[in-house]
Amino acid sequence: MRAAIVTESFLPSLNGVTTSVCHVADQLRSRGHDAVIIAPRAREAMPDTYLGFPVHRITSLPFRQFDIGLPSAEIEQILADAAPDVVHVASPFVIGARGLRAAARLGLPTVAIFQTDMAGYVRHHTPGSAGRATASTTWRWIRRIHSWADLTLAPSSGALADLRAHGVPRTQLWGRGVDTSLFSPAWRADALTRALRRELAPDGERLIGYVGRLAPEKELERLSELADVPHTRLVIVGDGPSRLSVGELLTEAVAASPGRPNRPPVFLGSRTGADLARAYAALDLFVHTGTRETFGQTIQEAGASGVAVVAPRAGGPIDLVTEGQNGHLFDPDLPGSLREAVCRSLASPDHLSELGQRGLERVRDRSWAAVVDHLVEHYEAVAGQRLSAVA
């Protein structure tokens, strides 16, 4: 098949949308499919191909740390020239919306990937009645956008329920893969991982880690509950606009702990590839804090690394963590629940090891190859439906 992928985010931006698009492109290439990628123009010069697929950069405007593509007429011309069998629209909101409308005018079948809870983010950043009203308006826009797609795919049962509750038609479930060739417990034996572990935990502290973007919607302030968990140290991997505020908050929380305070939290910055895999493998426990995640890819990466997980009983993590099996869930509305779940996880080395082993077993079959095979089946289904309708 030939797919046109219209994405709101792409390299050099690193986030869940970009990562998913890159994995999809990689698997399409390995299976002999063809693709063209339409993405916002980056602030820095970037190659005009990815894995041999053409990358068309749309005029964009910088907004904070993002490049926001403008919904220009060039999208329709690119789609017309590419003549794809299917248009894959990743996390549509701005240029994705224009891509769906352009595909409809051209008679092209479309698959939209719901990946970002924009309404939840808006609600989090806008307090009070204004936030509720803005979130409601955002959901109306999301419903309108996705109504233009032949099929909308949600990454988790929670996201699927949200879409259906807000009247989005033609929805199905499509999960995410994890790169088990990169994320693996085998990294624990690596010399650089062992050195990192000695540096972070010189007195044998148990390392509690978070991996991801440092932004208000990630609710990292919850980690302050863990400041006084005995003989532990917080390890933060990632970067973002909340880096300074989160650093100050957590450092102050640890310093104010009664008795002998733990070592201050350590921030490792953004890491990719083997360096990221080593960071996971150095941890004793992974903690996910955000309650508005449509999936929770870092939970799968921690699981593939053999690391036990604590996550909120909300959103995408509900599909990924089974209480007492591969981790523990905390009640995000109950103060102290996160700390209690972490202490339960660390109660004994055997329990922690068992949680990590079950997490590894749980993701063994969630390869990107299998996930993209399922995606191609969706491509074929909407393309077949469109041909039948024309006939």
Q: What is the DSSP string of 68-88?
A: EE---THHHHHHHHH--SEEE
Q: What is the pLDDT of residues 191-218, one digit of tens each?
A: 999 999 999 999 999 999 999 999 999 9
Give the residue from 100, 76, 217, 81 showing the smallest Cα distance to 168: 100
Residue 380 CB burial class (10 angstroms; 0-12, 13-18, ≥19): middle
Q: How confident is the model at residue 310 (pLDDT cuts 50, 70, 90)?
A: very high
- What's 364's DSSP letter? T
Residue 308 has pLDDT above 70, yes or no: yes
Report strand pairing: 206-211 vs 285-287.
parallel
DSSP-derived secondary structure letter, 350? H
Q: What is the DSSP string of 25-66?
A: HHHHHHTT-EEEEEEEPPSS---SEETTEEEEEEPEEEETTE
If you average pLDDT over every residue of the chain, what do you get? 95
* Six token digits for residue 278: 């080593």
The residue behind tokens 């024309």 is: 390
> Where do we find the tokens 């068992």?
354
Query: Has residue 56 got a pLDDT over 90?
Result: yes
Give CA–CA dist 302/345, Å, rounded: 15
- Compute the distance between CA of residue 89 and CA of residue 95 in angstroms, rounded to an integer: 9
Give the pLDDT confidence score for residue 68 in this predicted structure.
84
Supply the pLDDT for residue 154. 98
CA distance 166 to 140: 8
This model's pTM is above 0.85:
yes
**pLDDT on residue 317:** 97
Strand 266-269: give its sheet, edge to edge: 266-269, 232-237, 206-211, 285-287, 308-312, 327-330
Q: What is the pLDDT of residue 126?
A: 81
Cα 306–chain centre separation: 19
| pLDDT per position as a tens digit, 269-302 | 999 999 999 999 999 999 999 999 999 999 999 9
Distance between CA atoms of residues 122 and 138, nearest Å: 8
Collapse the DSSP code of 391 into the 3-class scheme (helix H, G, I; strand E, B; otherwise coil) and give the result: coil
In contact, 253 and 279? CB cutoff 8 Å: no
Q: How far apart are CA 98 and CA 70, in angstroms?
A: 9
Are 243 and 354 contacting, i.e. CB atoms less than 8 angstroms apart? no
| Residue that the structure tokens 């792409």 belong to | 10
DSSP 335: T
Structure tokens at 298: 């870092």
Closest CA relative to residue 300, chosen from 167, 189, 165, 156: 156
| Residue 153 DSSP SS3 | strand
Q: What is the pLDDT of residues 336-388, one digit of tens each?
A: 999 999 999 999 999 999 999 999 999 998 999 999 999 999 999 999 997 77
State residue 65's pLDDT score: 67
Amino acid 391: pLDDT? 58
Q: Which residue, among 184, 200, 16, 6, has the nearest Cα to 106 in the 3D structure?
A: 6
Q: How far apart are CA 197 and CA 281, in angstroms?
A: 9
- Residue for token digits 């010069």? 45
Is pLDDT at 66 greater than 80 in this prediction? no
**CA proximity to 53, closest of 72, 28, 88, 70:** 28
pLDDT of residue 40: 94
Q: What is residue 64's predicted lDDT score, i.e. its pLDDT?
A: 67
Q: What is the pLDDT of residue 260?
A: 85
For residue 34, pLDDT beyond 70: yes
The whole-number average pLDDT for the span 65-91 is 92
Q: How far apart are CA 78 and CA 80, in angstroms?
A: 5
- pLDDT at position 331 is 98
Q: Alpha helices of the chain — where are they, by DSSP H?
A: 16-30, 74-82, 95-106, 118-125, 128-147, 157-165, 191-200, 243-255, 273-282, 297-304, 317-320, 337-345, 349-363, 368-390
pLDDT in tens, 235-261: 999 999 999 999 999 999 999 998 889
Burial of 251 (0-12, 13-18, 19+ CB in 10 A): middle
